[in-house]
């Protein structure tokens, strides 16, 4: 999983475009813990390749990753 995410190039991509590239490359697993691992690795990789990102660190990058799907459910 880590090697797969490391293979993708997110340099100089806006956050949404980088996330879209990740999600188009494979299908997310159904288990929340596995999704969390993928999203954390994506966040680390995104931060490493984008110095001008508004996120201070990978942990801050996780909030919008999880809030977008929940808000679309209307919960």
d(CA 72, CA 75): 8
Record the pTM.
0.79
For 25, the domain range is 2-73
d(CA 40, CA 46): 10
Banded model confidence at residue 68, pLDDT cuts 50, 70, 90: low
Contact 37, 1 (CB under 8 A): yes
Provide the number of structural domains found in the chain.
1
Q: Which CATH number belongs to the domain containing residue 35 in this structure?
A: 1.10.1000.11
DSSP 54: S
The question of whether 44 is a catalytic residue gets the answer no
Q: What is the pLDDT of residues 33-66, one digit of tens each?
A: 888 888 889 999 999 888 888 888 888 887 777 6
Q: What is the pLDDT of residues 1-12, one digit of tens each?
A: 788 888 899 999
Q: Which of 30, 31, 51, 75 is catalytic?
A: 31
How would you class 8 by CB atoms within 10 Å of its CB: exposed for 0-12, middle for 13-18, buried for 19 or more? Answer: middle
């Amino acid at each position: 999983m880590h090697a797969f995410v490391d293979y993708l190039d997110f340099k100089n991509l806006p956050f949404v475009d980088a996330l879209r590239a990740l999600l188009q490359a494979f299908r997310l697993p159904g288990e929340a813990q596995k999704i969390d691992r993928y999203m954390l690795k994506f966040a680390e990789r995104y931060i490493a390749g984008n110095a001008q990102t508004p996120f201070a660190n990978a942990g801050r990058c996780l909030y919008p990753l999880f809030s977008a799907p929940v808000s679309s459910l209307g919960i």
